[in-house]
Structure 1
């Protein structure tokens, strides 16, 4: 699985001008399931994200996790994280899971991160979403479970 996490002071996602998810301080998580991913990958990624120390402590150091600060997560599906840009000018997405598996992994990951104790809001899989955020820092980190194998 691939994810881009952004430390935010607030974020929201809208579908057809209706807010489907919004948070204050926490993480915006853009998530993409790749072919060959497993539920174990989703669980490992959820645990890593819930514990990654990218929030400032009392000394201004990135030393606290989203759990430590009592923050939330806004999880948004983003198949374009699978973009293959090695040739030509149009990205290919053949390494992303198909829609059915992608949706299953999106829902599974969302449940998995909630089980770590992080309150979760989310977008709608496959919808045309409008995401707004205030990136705090800015802090943006890319994660890929293939790099951990």
Structure 2
């Protein structure tokens, strides 16, 4: 089946079965490898992308449901030479260990930044909860999102990177 997808502001025509998960189309047809295959069950968040400003697991999202919708991947946020505020915060806070979950974490966090400039600590933690980091860098990830939001350090945060 031929479908038109809007990914990172560009139109793409893809030839895939309608039930093909978006993750496979992004990686195999469009060469956008930021979203990772983690579990294939929507339980880890490594494949998180934005669809119409919502955080979505791309491993569970069939492409047939995406025509006419706006898809944004980590590749659409910034570049190596010009990273987004959030990407810079993740770097400064050294939020990545192995890095496998980071694109999904950043995409989920970007939804929060776009939607709520002043979340509470509880809102931030609840929003980030669906995404997992197998290396256990959750505290650095939370600090990075707080930094991008210009939130003060939480009680118990160690000294933050400059």
Q: Do these two structures clear the TM 0.5 threshold for a shared fold by scoring above it?
A: no
More helix by share: 2
TM-score (norm 1): 0.26
Larger radius of gyration: 2
TM-score under structure 2 length normalisation: 0.25
Q: Report which structure shows greater RCO (CA 8 Å, sep ≥6).
A: 1
